[in-house]
Amino acid sequence: MTPNQDLSAAREALIEQAATFAHIECDFGAAKGKFLTESAVLNPSVFFAGIEGISSRVTRSNKKIQRLGIPNAALWRGWGKESLDALVPDSSLDTLHVSFPDPWPKRRHWFRRLVNPEFLAIAARKLKPAHDDYRGGILRLMTDHLGYFEAMKKHLAAQGGWVEVSWEDDLRRPITEFETIFLAKGDPIGRIALRRKS
């Protein structure tokens, strides 16, 4: 995978494009942008920022967004937790989605899994903190790999500072590309949404 280039220009572009929106969500591993673009159409008052590691997917998705004239979505190319840290300002996200991250099922590959304590520490920092009138930003995780799901929950519990909330929320949530596949196969899917306490 191509390493991250300097993402400072991309960060500025994201800040500029999202500036007029009170709510910002990020889809990490946005793939071909199905969830991102459909979310943007269904929820026009929210800005949806996608991060995806494969450049061709980012280019194609952004072309589609431009062709359809969707003002509240864009993708940026970034790889790994470092790209989330570099692209997204701290305390800026209402919601961070990580849907079907690569499962790396073999134990010797677990070190490659995205959702680990380091990623969760960055995720926590990127979400808006709770205060009097705001319940705190939300992390939404989904995976078809139930072993990975258990590992995610273990890391979350060890880190602390998260409160599980209902998966259903106030926004209209389309299904993701991979969710479509697993639902069609009847595979079980682990889903968890958590609010950041402070």
Spatial distance between the Cα atoms of 197 and 188, rounded to a whole number of angstroms: 29
Looking at beta carbons only, is 33 or 136 nearer to ligand SAM? 33
User: Given the complex with ligand SAM, which of 24 and 36 has the nearer CB atom?
Assistant: 36
Sites of contact with ligand SAM (CB under 6 A):
29, 31, 52-54, 57, 79-80, 99-100, 102, 114, 176-179
3-state secondary structure of 99: strand
- Of 110 and 129, nearer to ligand SAM (C-beta) is 110
Beta-sheet strand order (sheet of 46-52): 73-77, 46-52, 23-28, 95-99, 138-143, 190-196, 162-165
Minimum CB–partner distance for residue 129 and ligand SAM (Å): 25
**Does the annotation mark 132 as catalytic?**
no
CA–CA separation, 119 vs 81, rounded Å?
Answer: 6
Given a contact cutoff of 8 angstroms between Cβ atoms, the answer to whether 11 and 22 are in contact is no
Which among 6, 90, 94, 102 is annotated as catalytic? 102
The residues that are catalytic are 102
